Structure 1
Amino acid sequence: MILGHIGARKGSKGVPGKNFRDLCGKPLIDWSLDPLLENPQVDAVVVSTDDEEMYAHAVAKGALDIGLRPAELATDSAPKWGVWQHALEASQAMLGQEVTAFLDLDCTSPLRLPEDITGALDLFASAAPDMVMSVCESRKNPYFNMVEPDETGALQVSKPLPGGVWARQNAPVVYDHVGVVYVVAPDYLRSAETIYEGRVIPFVLPAERCLDVDSPLDWTMVEFLMKERLAGRF
């Protein structure tokens, strides 16, 4: 049984109320919730939130009625991992079958396509890792063009290699961790304390589908790209 999950906290400092704010005709959360509810591979869907309006909205659309997120998991500092663990156990208690894959979509990554979800599930099924994580190739590379000050304040390459790296194509590949899609083995989610304890493998996506809404500028960019997509231009 595949359990789809969305975490949508009420508070947001960068874009107040963003998770339920209208984006191109529907709340931001629905750009993640609808693909889960419509995916034939997904057997059940749960939304973890401390917002009563979003919770009622999600349950009315077909999400499991697990109750609001506990207060200790609704703070700025609450780790995603703990939210996932709670949602898994609360959902498992309501389901008649054992969950075999925990599928999470970040509410703030609305530009994913349906094939991003099925692709991640297929990779999880074929490679049998502890976790599949969506990534995109980073525009900046710590071996080449990311720098940081040393103890004197002088800039140095963040991760220097012997002899240096003088062309981007010669630098080791690095990825941005993005919230488009995650697939986690339930036993790993229950037993691990953090994301990277086990075998976490990348699911590489194009950067244009990996924008995350954290600021008003992000919202403007995502809204523009969504309008372009809906108009058939992107």
Structure 2
Amino acid sequence: MNLAVIPARGGSKRIPHKNIKKFAGKPLIAYSIEAAQQCGLFEHIWVSTDDEQIAEVALRYGAQVPFMRPAELSDDFIGTTPVIRHAIEYCREHFSLPDYCCGIYATAPFLQVEYLQQGFDKLSQTRDKFFAFSCTTFTFPVQRALIQQGSGVTPMYPEFIAKRSQDLAEAYHDAGQFYWGRSEGFLSHKTMFSEDAIPIVLPRYLVQDIDTPEDWQRAELMYQAFIQFKANKVSSSNE
């Protein structure tokens, strides 16, 4: 059995009610629910929330809300893994222990079924890995980062500042979309960003954090461009 868990806390401060705010015409969380439904990989799609409004929207779009998340897992400092672990333990107690669980962020309108499938396939076909998560490359070499110093700047890594971009190792960062894991991996407190995990690399045009109003505006512009790109691609293939 596979379980999808969509964490959706109600206390967003920089973008109030972010998880259910209308994004390109529908609540932001709806995109994550629909991607989980469309991939056909999950027996259960649960939204873990402490907010009645979010629960109502989640149910409207076809997700399940089998519990309201406890207060100790709903403050500003709680991480994603404890929320997923809580859902797995609830599932084990009331149904059965899922073989695999996938944490899907509620703020992932660019989430594509093909990458959810790829993550599951790669993880399930290995025996020595416990996780598979979405990531992408940085647009600029992180080794040549600058930091402010007084009224000027200084290289964060002086030993790399004069090197050519092509001579520096490419760096990756968490894409903030999905986190596949074997239940035993989540429950045994193994680490996601480690040799226990398989990186699923996404193209950069499918990755955008949505944490501030500026992020939101950028994400909507990117989404409109992506939808137009897909429409043009379909049109060209039909000619």
Global fold match (TM > 0.5): yes
Q: Does 1:5 align with 2:1?
A: no
The aligned residue for residue 58 of structure 2 is: 58
Task: Quickly say closer, same or farther: Cα 1:72–1:189, change in 2 above 3 A.
Answer: same
The aligned residue for residue 172 of structure 1 is: 169
The aligned residue for residue 236 of structure 2 is: none
Q: Does 1:103 align with 2:102?
A: yes
Cα deviation, residue 194, structure 1: 4.7
Q: Does 1:199 align with 2:199?
A: no
Cα deviation, residue 174, structure 1: 1.0
Distance 2:135 2:194 in 1: 18
Task: Give 1:224's match in structure 2, choosing from 218, 221, 224.
Answer: 221
Distance 2:214 2:76 in 1: 21
TM-score, structure 2 normalization: 0.86
Per-residue CA deviations over 1:163-212 (Å, capped at 9, x if unaligned) read x7611111112101111221011111011165346612211010111112
Distance 2:232 2:186 in 1: 39
TM-score, structure 1 normalization: 0.87
Distance 2:116 2:223 in 1: 18
Distance 2:99 2:22 in 1: 33
The aligned residue for residue 67 of structure 1 is: 67
Distance 1:160 1:44 in 2: 50
Task: Quickly say closer, same or farther: Cα 1:203–1:160, change in 2 above 3 A.
Answer: farther
Distance 1:61 1:148 in 2: 44
8 Å CA contact 2:85, 2:186 repeated in 1: yes
Cα deviation, residue 157, structure 1: 3.4
Alignment of 1:143-182 (within 5 A): 143=143, 145-148=144-147, 155-158=154-157, 160=159, 166-182=163-179
Distance 1:123 1:190 in 2: 20
3-state DSSP of counterpart to 2:179: strand
Task: Quickly say closer, same or farther: Cα 1:220–1:65, change in 2 above 3 A.
Answer: closer
The aligned residue for residue 15 of structure 1 is: 15
Question: What residue identity is the alignment partner of 2:119?
Answer: A
3-state DSSP of counterpart to 1:195: coil
Q: Alignment identity in percent? A: 26
The aligned residue for residue 49 of structure 1 is: 49
Distance 1:91 1:55 in 2: 18
Distance 2:99 2:162 in 1: 43
3-state DSSP of counterpart to 2:139: coil
Per-residue CA deviations over 1:11-66 (Å, capped at 9, x if unaligned) read 11221111000112210000001111232221111111111111133235443342
Distance 1:60 1:35 in 2: 15
3-state DSSP of counterpart to 1:135: strand
Cα deviation, residue 113, structure 1: 1.4
Per-residue CA deviations over 1:98-153 (Å, capped at 9, x if unaligned) read 3111112111121121111111111111234111111101123332x213468xx9
Q: Does 1:81 align with 2:78?
A: no
Q: Which stretches in structure 2 are left out of the alignment for 5+ residues?
A: 234-239
